[in-house]
Structure 1
Amino acid sequence: MSSTLKKINLGFGRLNKAIKVTFFPKNIYTYNRPAHDYHNLSYSQEGEDRILSRIFEGQNQGFYVDVGAHHPQRFSNTYLFYLLGWRGMNIDAKPGSMSLFQKIRPNDINLELPISDSYQVLTYYEFNEPALNGFCPEISQERDGLHHYRIIKTHQLQTYTLSEVLDQYLPKEQQIDFLNVDVEGLDYQVLKSNNWSKYKPKVILAEDLNFSFLDNPPKSKVASLLFDQGYEIYAKSGFTLVFKLRA
C-alpha cells in the first residue's frame, strides 16, 4: 500500500473516531450496551402493568386489590408492583388457588373468596386453561370445546360482596391505589358490589368483552357505572379498560 493511501485510511479512521466521540458520546448514546438493558419488564397479559407504571411512576410504595388474581406471576397486573415493594390483596375463587400465592407473595393478603353483587351460591366453571375460569355460564359454555379449551370441573361456591371483604380484610386506614378486576364476565357485578362512598381507588382496571372505542357512545355497563362514580377512561389494552379518578 502506498504511503499516500495509508495516510488517507489513517485520516478516515481518525475522522470516524471523532464522529463517534462528538455525536455519540458513551454517557448519552450507549451504543455499546447489551440489548437487555433496553427492555421493560412486564408480567401482564396485554401490557397493563406498563400502563400502571406510567401512572404511578416514581411511587415506590402503594396498595392494590386484585379480584380474579388467577396466579401470583402469570398474567398478573400486580406482580411487577410487588417486586417494587408494593403490597396488596389478592382474591380468587378457584379452590386451592391461594397456596401458590402464599409461597410466592407471602407479604400480600391472599384470599380464596368468590366475589359477586349479592350473597348467593353460583356455579364456578374450571377450565384446563385457568385464565378462563369464571362464573358466567354463557361465556363458559361458549368457550367449552373452543380450540383446545374445555371445562374440566364445576364447583358450587358461596359468593361475597367486595364491600364486605374489604371491610373485613383491608388494613385500617389503608388507601387503595388501584383495583384490578378480571373475573371473566362478572366484572360489572364485582364493581357494583363495592361501597363507593368508602372505597375509592385512584385507578381501576376492569375487563369488558363488549366494549369498543368505535362505539358512540360506548355500550358498556362497566364504563357507565364508573363514569357515575367519578372516573374517566385513561387507556385501553386489549379487553382491559383503565379508569382514573377525575381530579
Structure 2
Amino acid sequence: MTARLVRPERNTSYALGGVDVVLKSILRDVQVGTYLDIGANHPVNYSNTYLFYEMGWSGFAVDGNIAYMVDWSKNRPRDKFLNEIVTDSRKTVIFEIFPDSTMSTIEKSTGERYRKRFDSSEINEIECESTTIFEIYRSTIKTEVHLMSIDIEGEEINALRGARLDVFRPGVVCVEIKSVSVHNIRDNEVYQYMEGFGYHLIAKMPLDSIFVDTRKPYLSWIPDGIV
C-alpha cells in the first residue's frame, strides 16, 4: 500500500526573511486580530503585517513618510494610517527620507551611515514633532493589540521606551535588531529591556527578533520550555 503524500499548507510571505510566516504560527490561536505597525513603509512590499491583513486582520500603520498614505488607503482600506514619528518622548526631530525609503530614520548615527550612500540632493530632511507608542495607543487604539511590529532604523529601543509596556501590553512584539548573533543576544539592550517587562524571546530571525507575553490567553499554547 502506497502512503498518501500530505502536502503542507502553502505560506505566502511578504516580509523580509519570512518573519510574517513565523508570526502567523505564533499567533495561530487568534482568528481575527489587531496589529500596530511602527515604521510601516509600503503597505505590501516587505510588510510584516500584510499577510495578516489578507487573513482578515486590521490595525494601525505608523510612518513619518506621508507619501505612503495614499498607497495604504488604496491597498489596505481597513487599516488606519498615522503620519507620525515615534520615539521616547514628544520633541522636535529631524526625519531623513532617503531614496531607499526603507532606510529613513531620525536616529543620528544610522542617518550618518546611510548619508554616505547617496548624494545630499537626494535626501529629504523634515523637521517634525515626534510622539510615542503609548500616546498613539491611548489616543487612537484603545483595544487589544495582538501584534506590534517595529522597524525604524536604529530608533527601536527609544520607541520601546516610549511604549509604556507596564500599561500597554501587545501580545507579540517583533523588533528589528540588526548585527546581533543568537550567541550574544542577551547582551543587546532591546533584549534586556523586553525581558525587564516580562517579555520572552521566542524567535531570532536574521533581521528581526520576536518577543511574546505568555500571559496572554491566545499565547497559552507556547510551552514553557521554549521561552
Query: Above 0.5 in TM-score?
Result: yes
Give 1:194's aligned residue.
163
CA contact (8 A) 2:166 2:197 kept: no
Give 2:201's aligned residue.
233
Shift in Å, 1:181: 0.5
Give 2:191's aligned residue.
223
Which of 97, 106, 123 is residue 68 of structure 2 equivalent to?
97
2:5 paired with 1:29: yes
Shift in Å, 1:224: 0.9
> In the comparison of the two structures, how many residue pairs are matched?
214
Shift in Å, 1:213: 1.6
Cα gap change, 1:81/1:246 in structure 2, threshold over 3 Å: closer, same or farther? same
Shift in Å, 1:104: 0.9
Q: Which amino acid aligns with 1:128?
A: P
Partner SS, residue 110 of structure 2: helix
Matches within 5 A, 1:17-166: 22-24=1-3, 28-29=4-5, 39-146=10-117, 152-166=123-137
CA contact (8 A) 1:203 1:242 kept: yes
Cα gap change, 1:76/1:149 in structure 2, threshold over 3 Å: closer, same or farther? farther
Give 1:10's aligned residue.
none
Shift in Å, 1:38: 6.4
Give 1:183's aligned residue.
152
* TM-score (normalised: structure 2): 0.87
Give the whole-Å Cα distance in 2 for the aligned partners of 1:149 and 1:243.
Answer: 38
Q: Which amino acid aligns with 1:164?
A: E
Give 2:182's aligned residue.
213
Which structure 1 residue ranges, 4+ long, deviate > 3 Å from structure 2? 148-151
CA contact (8 A) 1:70 1:130 kept: yes
Partner SS, residue 100 of structure 1: helix
| Structure with bigger gyration radius | 1
* TM-score (normalised: structure 1): 0.81
Cα gap change, 1:130/1:198 in structure 2, threshold over 3 Å: closer, same or farther? same
Shift in Å, 1:210: 4.3
Shift in Å, 1:30: 6.6
Q: Which amino acid aligns with 1:223?
A: Y
Partner SS, residue 41 of structure 1: coil
Shift in Å, 1:218: 2.4
Aligned-CA RMSD value: 2.0
Shift in Å, 1:193: 0.3
Q: Which amino acid aligns with 1:230?
A: G
Shift in Å, 1:39: 4.0
CA contact (8 A) 2:64 2:84 kept: yes
Give the whole-Å Cα distance in 2 for the aligned partners of 1:180 and 1:196.
Answer: 14
Spell out, residue by residue over 1:82-129, the C-alpha distance to the aligned partner (whole angstroms, 9 max, x if none): 010011111001132212111111111210111111111111111111
Percent identity over the alignment is 24
Give the whole-Å Cα distance in 2 for the aligned partners of 1:86 and 1:40.
Answer: 16
Give the whole-Å Cα distance in 2 for the aligned partners of 1:149 and 1:110.
Answer: 30
Give the whole-Å Cα distance in 2 for the aligned partners of 1:149 and 1:49.
Answer: 34
Spell out, residue by residue over 1:138-162, the C-alpha distance to the aligned partner (whole angstroms, 9 max, x if none): 112212233x797521111110111
Q: Which amino acid aligns with 2:193?
A: L
Shift in Å, 1:225: 0.9
Q: Which amino acid aligns with 1:122?
A: V
Partner SS, residue 241 of structure 1: strand
Question: Gaps spanning 5+ residues in structure 2: where?
Answer: 216-227
Give the whole-Å Cα distance in 1 for the aligned partners of 2:178 and 2:187.
Answer: 11
